[in-house]
A and B are shown apart, each in its own frame.
Chain A
Amino acid sequence: MKEEKKSASGQTILGGLFFFAGLIVALIVGWVVFPKVLYSEKTQPINFSHAAHQDSACEDCHYYLPDGSYSGAPGIENCRQCHEEPMTDSEQERILVEDYIQKNREIPWLVYGWQPDNVYFSHAPHQAAELECVQCHRDVTADEEKLPIYYENRWTGYSKSTMKMVACEQCHAERGATNACQMCHK
């Protein structure tokens, strides 16, 4: 009887161990392996340095167009204003001038926060509501040596940093802005 009891409690402990092992393995898979599998890492076509452009104002490159829409990432016409010819001996600048400006090719920037087609987003009302850029975007004034890696969801094709609807809704709710569907899905 006694042996049987001991054996039963041993089995319980052993069972707990198996359960625990399964739990740990799944947690590792879910938290560590899965994100690595789900996202591919991409680097930007040029390692642009915001820090190296501190003599320019943000609005020189990121501005509102006459129709009120936002220019987003600048096109090569912006870059050309200063970089018609290389100004330094930086390799990245050489790529910019030779591969893009001289060939009249737009730089295929990977936009970290690009919203999908079914979302209508306008920067203008958000600026009017006095939201700071860094509330949604990374702080580019920090001295970063390399542009952040762009994580692309292999399944959906979205950027990992695309703001999700819940974040939009939360902020809208907090600030008393409407959360009606047609506000963003027109």
Chain B
Amino acid sequence: MKFGRRAFLQFAAGAVGGTLLSPLPWKLADDSAIWSQNWSWRPSPMRGLVSKAPSTCLFCDGGCGIQAHLVSQKNAIYIEGNPDSPVNQGGVCPLAASGCQFLYAPYRVAQPMKQTKARGDVTGFQPISWEEAISELSLGLSKMRTRGNPQGLACISGRPRSSMFDLLRQFFSAYGSPNLFQMPSHADSLELASTLTIGQTATPAFALERAGYVLSFGADMLAGWGAPSRMQSLFGHWRQEQPGVAPAKIVQIEPRLSMTATKADEWIAVKPGTQAALALGIVHVLIKNKLYDADFMSSQVVGFEDWTDNSGKTRQGFKNLVMKNCAPRKIAELTGVEAAKIEELAKEFAAQENAVAIWGGDSGETPNNIYSDLSFLALNLLKGNMQTGGMVSLVPPVPLEPLPEVQVDEWAQKGLQQPRLDLTQSKQAPLPGNGLYAFLDTLNRGGAPYSIEMLMIYEANPVYSLPENSLVKEAIKKVDRIVTFTSYLDETAVQADLILPNHMALERHDDVIGLPGVPYAYYAVSNPVLPPRLDTKHTGDVVLTVAEKIGGAVKGSLPWKNFETYLQGRVKGLAAAGTGAVADKPGLKPWALQPGQSPKTNYKNAKDLWSKLTSGLCWYGPPIGALQEIKTTSGKYELAFVSLQDRGVNVEDDAVYLPHYAPLSPSGDEKAFPLLMVSYRSLSLSSGYMANPPFMTKTLWNFLLKGKDLFVEVHPETAKSLGMQEGDRATLKTPQGEVKVRIRVFPGAHPDTVFVVHGLGHTAYDEYIKDKGINANEVIEVQMDPITGMGTVWATRAQLARA
């Protein structure tokens, strides 16, 4: 018997047969499929019981109630909306839904860091202890004060509608510096417009929940305008058929077919930057056809008719100015909207009972030209929207416990007597507000009366997100020391000398005071859904510790043990005011409250209110009418800005005192830069302090971002005249700089205009965020408003050339 070749083959055949009759091949085939589902790099959520931790979202100023899903109360895996919140009613925006990516992001700052090499060199950051970090900061601050330069401290703060900002203001007043600035927002110019017209700092609010007709002058309602989640649910509400209720009509007026424009009933493709002119054209038609309340306009409003200034001189009133300058035919030329269309819009607007005009592009991220804000307000005034129960009211203040009076010592007094450094051409603008751009301009021009030794930056990333960011890049070179309070190693933190990492938004107590454009009073507290993951500290606690170390009046002005106690103290004041109620069930409609009609209070005392607020419920109160709160010297709505004269504006031109169309010209030669570049924002792209998380980047179309290439939108005819086609590579050049882009031919883009999205082109963070697309802020030009000193953004001259 020989085991030869034949025998081997016979044995093998038997083995094959036996194997096929055994589970081995079938099991392995099945397991190979299962194995492919279990690759180690495939993310898998932690196992354990899932619970929900409620809080308030701090990612933007929209104040949404949220619930974080936690596994075993340790790992946050998901964020959803809180159905009890009247703002978002259970919904959230893509940014909040991606919130856990920020919590576990590799680019979070894990402990205090000190730059040991040249600024901007990330390899130079050395971890230091909190004791070292705080003592370095407080020693530096104490020295500046005793050297007589407390005014040399400046701050750029994010999150202005918060008790944290109030705490910073208290610290700055006690320390002795006037140089506390906020990141710019539309609220900045709106506040000044209110100052001029009703004599007090406030921002307008719109009763959109009961709107029947919305004339939106570039208010990108589905891209972050106002409180984003409120607008999302409102759009759903408007688009829902309800028996017996006529559906709301939305007219979107903007040069680009935005998401809002696509969902509107009508899109008016106006020339870039001419929305205010169109509003005045509509005003003209209203006046010409007497479609306004003449009694009200003559008895309650100053300056509608011709008026007399302080020197006794008769000035032209708004009515005559508009009748002279804003005839539809003229406006048609400016705006590209036919005169007949303007007439039609005006008549429609006048005929509708609940018609309202809203405005403000750029998702409320930048101040507007003050005359534009005033023109839109005038349109609403003429429509009667500001009268009691009208569509336009004011964002009501929240009666929180005021901070104790600041103890001003000798050093602080001297510091506060110094001029704030938001000087335009060596003096402040006539109507100064949050003059961040004027401040940066002063630093860059040089010749300020004193130098800025230390710049603090709190929860903001101006080096990336400030339009024309070269201004801040340049300005920080003039400052000796940059200290940032941030959770992330962003572009601004990279430029810091000292990083004092703040707890991330889901790990800390904080609050939201009022909501942009929302007519009811609103207050919500965010509380940690998880203990801090890293060696971070609440910036509020850092400020309080530093104040304690500086001692004296600074310590006395900030007497709280920690930030949580401070916040509880503020809520105590709210409880003592005894107004408003806690929204403790879904379906509440605070917007249905009438001015002065407070809901029935449903909390027992301050402790109860605090416990309700920290369990994810928000407080709400009644709206306040715009004309209820008039504090002008005349006691009337000042359509003519009488108070400008008291602010040193004495000019011949009557228009300066009235709402009018006053575009600020972009720089650059029109021949060299034949196009206009206009930037826009999207709800799928976070463009501010929060970087765009990978979850959201995945939702971008490949005609917006493909690989690392960003597409800019141009009209087919413009593309044709430039000899360009879809996908072509091009250089986009503006007076500010140039960037490489690709072309998207888009019929929804206004001709001769290039549209660039905000939110891409990061240079910091991690590989999933940085180097994707370009940062629009690198090429945007900011135009300084001569009245307010604020940096406004509407368009930049540009050219596109084949790359």
Contacts from A to B (Cβ < 8 Å): 14-16, 18-27, 29-31, 34-35, 38, 65, 67, 69, 71, 75, 106, 116-118, 153, 155-158, 164
CB–CB A22/B15 < 8 A? yes
CB proximity to A under 8 Å, residues B1-23 = 1, 3, 6-8, 10-19, 21-23
Sample of 5 more A-B contacts, CB < 8 Å, known A26-B19, A155-B35: A15-B6, A30-B23, A30-B24, A116-B34, A156-B34
CB–CB B14/A21 < 8 A? yes
B3: chain A residues within 8 A (beta carbon): 18
| Contact of B313 with A by CB under 8 A | no
Bound Cα distance A19, B11 (Å) = 4
CB–CB B49/A18 < 8 A? no
CB–CB B22/A117 < 8 A? no
Closest beta carbon of chain B to A65's beta carbon, Å: 7
B16: chain A residues within 8 A (beta carbon): 22, 26
CB–CB A27/B10 < 8 A? no
CB–CB A34/B11 < 8 A? no
CB–CB A117/B44 < 8 A? yes
Bound Cα distance A91, B449 (Å) = 79
A15: chain B residues within 8 A (beta carbon): 6-7, 10
Closest beta carbon of chain B to A77's beta carbon, Å: 10
CB–CB B50/A31 < 8 A? no
Closest beta carbon of chain A to B489's beta carbon, Å: 31
Bound Cα distance A24, B18 (Å) = 7
Bound Cα distance A184, B620 (Å) = 42
CB–CB B49/A65 < 8 A? yes
Bound Cα distance A172, B24 (Å) = 28
Task: Give the residue name and chain of the B residue nearest to A111 (CB).
Answer: B47
Task: Give the residue name and chain of the A residue nearest to B18 (CB).
Answer: A26
| Contact of B725 with A by CB under 8 A | no
CB–CB A34/B27 < 8 A? yes
CB–CB B23/A26 < 8 A? no
Residue in A23, A31, A106 whose CB lies within 8 Å of B72: A106
CB–CB A30/B35 < 8 A? no
Q: Report if A26-B14 is in contact (Cβ < 8 Å); known contacts: A65-B49, A75-B49, A117-B44.
A: yes
CB–CB A30/B22 < 8 A? yes
CB–CB A18/B19 < 8 A? no
CB–CB A14/B12 < 8 A? no
Q: Report if A27-B35 is in contact (Cβ < 8 Å); known contacts: A19-B13, A22-B12.
A: no
Residue in B17, B34, B44, B49 whose CB lies within 8 Å of A26: B17
A164: chain B residues within 8 A (beta carbon): 30
CB–CB A18/B23 < 8 A? no
Bound Cα distance A23, B16 (Å) = 7
CB–CB A34/B49 < 8 A? no
Count of A-B contacts with CB under 8 A? 96
Residue in A21, A65, A106, A157 whose CB lies within 8 Å of B11: A21
CB–CB B37/A118 < 8 A? yes
Q: Contact flags (1/0) for B21-40 with A, using CB distance below 8 Å?
A: 11110010011001101100
Interface centre among B15, B17, B48 (most CB of A within 10 A): B15
CB–CB A27/B18 < 8 A? yes
Bound Cα distance A21, B3 (Å) = 12
CB–CB B45/A26 < 8 A? no
A38: chain B residues within 8 A (beta carbon): 27, 31
B12: chain A residues within 8 A (beta carbon): 22
Q: Report if A25-B38 is in contact (Cβ < 8 Å); known contacts: A18-B7, A156-B31.
A: no
Task: Give the residue name and chain of the B residue nearest to A38 (CB).
Answer: B27
Secondary structure dominating the interface of A: helix
Closest beta carbon of chain A to B442's beta carbon, Å: 56
Bound Cα distance A18, B16 (Å) = 12
CB–CB A22/B24 < 8 A? no
Residue in A14, A34, A155 whose CB lies within 8 Å of B24: A34
Contacts from B to A (Cβ < 8 Å): 1, 3, 6-8, 10-19, 21-24, 27, 30-31, 34-35, 37-38, 44-45, 48-50, 52, 72
CB–CB B18/A117 < 8 A? no
Bound Cα distance A18, B48 (Å) = 55
The 7 closest A-B pairs by CB, nearest first: A30-B22, A22-B14, A26-B18, A22-B15, A19-B14, A23-B14, A18-B10
CB–CB A71/B49 < 8 A? yes
CB–CB A27/B21 < 8 A? yes
Task: Give the residue name and chain of the B residue nearest to A162 (CB).
Answer: B34
Closest beta carbon of chain B to A122's beta carbon, Å: 13
Q: Report if A29-B22 is in contact (Cβ < 8 Å); known contacts: A65-B49, A69-B50, A156-B38.
A: yes
A20: chain B residues within 8 A (beta carbon): 14
A117: chain B residues within 8 A (beta carbon): 37, 44-45
Interface centre among A14, A16, A19, A20 (most CB of B within 10 A): A19
Closest beta carbon of chain B to A21's beta carbon, Å: 6
B37: chain A residues within 8 A (beta carbon): 116-118
Q: Report if A31-B22 is in contact (Cβ < 8 Å); known contacts: A22-B10, A65-B49.
A: yes
Bound Cα distance A67, B67 (Å) = 14
B45: chain A residues within 8 A (beta carbon): 117
Q: Report if A153-B10 is in contact (Cβ < 8 Å); known contacts: A23-B17, A26-B17, A34-B22.
A: no
B14: chain A residues within 8 A (beta carbon): 18-26
Closest beta carbon of chain B to A43's beta carbon, Å: 19
A158: chain B residues within 8 A (beta carbon): 34, 38
A26: chain B residues within 8 A (beta carbon): 14-19, 21-22
Closest beta carbon of chain A to B496's beta carbon, Å: 39
Closest beta carbon of chain B to A118's beta carbon, Å: 6
CB–CB B24/A29 < 8 A? yes
Listed A/B pairs (19) with beta-carbon separation below 8 Å: A15-B7, A18-B7, A22-B10, A22-B11, A26-B18, A27-B21, A27-B22, A29-B19, A29-B24, A31-B22, A31-B23, A34-B24, A71-B49, A75-B49, A155-B31, A156-B31, A158-B34, A158-B38, A164-B30
Closest beta carbon of chain A to B27's beta carbon, Å: 7
Closest beta carbon of chain B to A111's beta carbon, Å: 8
B30: chain A residues within 8 A (beta carbon): 164
Bound Cα distance A25, B17 (Å) = 10
Bound Cα distance A26, B23 (Å) = 11
Bound Cα distance A130, B23 (Å) = 34
CB–CB B11/A18 < 8 A? yes
CB–CB A156/B35 < 8 A? yes
Bound Cα distance A155, B38 (Å) = 9
Bound Cα distance A24, B34 (Å) = 29
CB–CB B38/A157 < 8 A? yes
Interface centre among B3, B22, B30, B72 (most CB of A within 10 A): B22
Closest beta carbon of chain A to B572's beta carbon, Å: 32
B18: chain A residues within 8 A (beta carbon): 22-27, 29-30
Task: Give the residue name and chain of the B residue nearest to A35 (CB).
Answer: B23
Interface centre among A18, A35, A155 (most CB of B within 10 A): A18
A153: chain B residues within 8 A (beta carbon): 31, 34
CB–CB B1/A25 < 8 A? no
A24: chain B residues within 8 A (beta carbon): 14, 18
A35: chain B residues within 8 A (beta carbon): 23
Bound Cα distance A158, B34 (Å) = 8
Closest beta carbon of chain B to A24's beta carbon, Å: 7
CB–CB B49/A22 < 8 A? no
CB–CB B31/A22 < 8 A? no
B38: chain A residues within 8 A (beta carbon): 116, 156-158
Bound Cα distance A7, B18 (Å) = 27
B52: chain A residues within 8 A (beta carbon): 67
A14: chain B residues within 8 A (beta carbon): 1, 7
B11: chain A residues within 8 A (beta carbon): 18-19, 21-22
Bound Cα distance A27, B13 (Å) = 13
Interface centre among A14, A29, A30, A153 (most CB of B within 10 A): A30
Bound Cα distance A25, B31 (Å) = 23
Closest beta carbon of chain A to B10's beta carbon, Å: 4
Bound Cα distance A24, B1 (Å) = 20
Task: Give the residue name and chain of the B residue nearest to A22 (CB).
Answer: B14
A19: chain B residues within 8 A (beta carbon): 10-11, 13-14, 17
Bound Cα distance A155, B35 (Å) = 7
B50: chain A residues within 8 A (beta carbon): 67, 69
Bound Cα distance A31, B25 (Å) = 11
Bound Cα distance A117, B47 (Å) = 10
